[in-house]
Chains A and B, each alone.
Chain A
Amino acid sequence: MELRRGILRREPDIFEIGRKGHVGYSLPGGEGAEPSLPEHLKRSEPPRLPTVTEVEAVRHYTRLSHWNHSVELGMYPLGSCTMKYNPKLHDTLTRMPAFSRMHPMMDDASITEQLELLKNLEDALCAISGFDAVTLQPPAGAAGEFTGLAVIKAALKKRGEADQRIRVLVPDTAHGTNPASVVLNGFKPVSVQTGPEGYLTVDMVREHLDDTIAALMVTNPNTLGIYERELKEIAEEVHKAGGYVYMDGANFNALMGKVRPADIGVDVMHFNLHKTFSTPHGGGGPGAGPVGVTSELEPYLPVPRIVQDGDDYRLDWNREDSIGKVHAFLGNFDVFVRAYAYILEYGHHLETVTERAVLNARYLRARLEDVLEIPYDTDTLHEAVFTDKTLKKETGVTTMDIAKRLLDHGVHPPTVYFPLIVPGAFMVEPTETESKADLDYFVDAVKSIIQEAHENPELVKSAPHTTGIRRLDETRAARKPVLRWTPAPDSNSQ
């Protein structure tokens, strides 16, 4: 008899589980009742639905969900994603009736306390970053990028220079979404090469500056984990040329409490609350990508703005220069509650988060650099990028193989093959919530895999060996994707 309880190593698909006569629904009018639909809306043949009861369907998906990896199951050092642990207390707070029973159509007067929370969060983000104003609306990092650049576009239009200033400089160490956000706003991305030490230099940026420059869009620290140490001087040059400086703040976990971007000449920055400020992410959201700007750009922020009226708070829609609305209602409200709670918990000690995140990443780098190559010698902050260059030459084992083998150790693989300027990149970001014991476990796992690569490379190349699903043929999946279920010839379902 086939085992069919607990977590299965091989879970049949829901159609295979089906048994003749099992149903999980009932239609009005009872069995065999004809739906009262016009003839032309009726199907000519019955749909192929799985024949399972409700509890069978629930158990099937619950078993599948146990195959997932999450930060609550093990380490998740996915570079650039800041997969820190999210405190459970925050979930409790979002379930308070004042938040969970709010309706999006309630008028300002009935949600003045909730608006106060949002205003307080905006003010806290201003204090942390040095900006004069923040909008919370954008629902994700890339949405923040889009909004920030749209604000720059609106400001250029106001100056009468929108037709002339169309180029946005994007370093090759920027996040991959940056050039896309540039194009979406009708600008033209211009790739700027990173200097020999892994950061931008004033000289390299100056070469590109003229009166067609709209902005520089820089990720800081960049995707090599390296701080852009010349950014202050670079920003002065960009400003002199009449452009703005946009900073991608996705890596703000390396700077929080240490550097206020507005102080070094940044005009616009998006935050990723779901990274730095500890709100859950993965699986596509919900996230939040608030945008901070200087007072010069404040008039162009999305409407509505939250304003204080005596003791009350209300939404102000009356902003003639605003770029308009970028998300429905107030944005992803639950995310704001969690991020605000996080900021209040740490208070004036937010910088300890940064210090520990950097310490953890540097510890991993120090312990792994004798077995995995580092492409740039320059000091790194919250993440470390390695390359498989020598390992691949000596053993044939690649970054992808190490990543797959890590699954056998119960660790989520780091980011692979990014940034693009590092061949075979292996990008590790442990975050501050991992203990030394967990970091050591990761180091030991990587070291044992590299030893295997030398002694028994096939073992690593065919990994993973202990997961529910083994290595997938990613090439075939991309070249010949099967996007629609079709019944197997011996299927039990009808």
Chain B
Amino acid sequence: MASYPENLKYTKTHEWLDPETGKMGLTAFAVEHLGDITMFDTDKEAGDEVEAGEEVANVDSVKTASAVYAPVSGTIKEINEDLEDEPEAINEEPYGRG
């Protein structure tokens, strides 16, 4: 069953945000419904400013393609570039490596 760590904040569009570190990702619920994720793609770079609700990345899964939205406004500090080679990390550890 999908889990939802209590220290994280969640959006209606199934992203999570860690208010301590500023890290974000997709929730276990989103990942379960997407199925096996086959591609992660973003045209954003570290230093880019984004607004809450803005599309920041795309994920493809065996079922569908889906947009990932910024949970809050701010500046991107870092992008998890491992995901471009290893999108399965999103399935395996949605709150960790993914």
B-binding residues in A (CB < 8 A): 417, 420, 423, 474-475, 478-479
Contacts and interface: CB of A to CB of B under 8 A. Distances in A.
Nearest to B63: A417
Interface of B: 33, 36, 38-39, 60, 62-64, 87-88
B63 A479 contact: no
A417 B64 contact: yes
Name A's interface SS: helix
B33 A478 contact: no
B38 A479 contact: yes
Contacts of B38: 475, 478-479
A474 B62 contact: yes
Contacts of B88: 475, 479
A479 B62 CA distance: 10
Given A475-B38, A478-B39, A479-B88, A420 B64 contact: yes
Contacts of B62: 474-475, 478
Contacts of A417: 63-64
Nearest first, the 6 closest Cβ-Cβ pairs linking A and B are A478-B38, A475-B36, A417-B63, A479-B38, A474-B62, A475-B62
- By CB atoms of chain A within 10 A, which of B39, B60, B62 has the most? B62
A475 B63 CA distance: 10
A19 B9 CA distance: 64
17 contacts: A417-B63, A417-B64, A420-B64, A423-B33, A474-B36, A474-B62, A475-B36, A475-B38, A475-B62, A475-B88, A478-B36, A478-B38, A478-B60, A479-B38, A479-B39, A479-B87, A479-B88
Contacts of B60: 478
Contacts of A479: 38-39, 87-88
A170 to B, nearest CB: 14
A423 B38 CA distance: 19
A417 B62 CA distance: 10
A246 B34 CA distance: 30
A475 B39 CA distance: 10
A430 B9 CA distance: 45
A44 B33 CA distance: 51
B64 to A, nearest CB: 6
A423 B33 CA distance: 8
Nearest to A474: B62
Contacts of B63: 417
A479 B38 CA distance: 5
Contacts of B64: 417, 420
A475 B87 CA distance: 11
A478 B88 CA distance: 11
A197 B73 CA distance: 35
B60 to A, nearest CB: 7
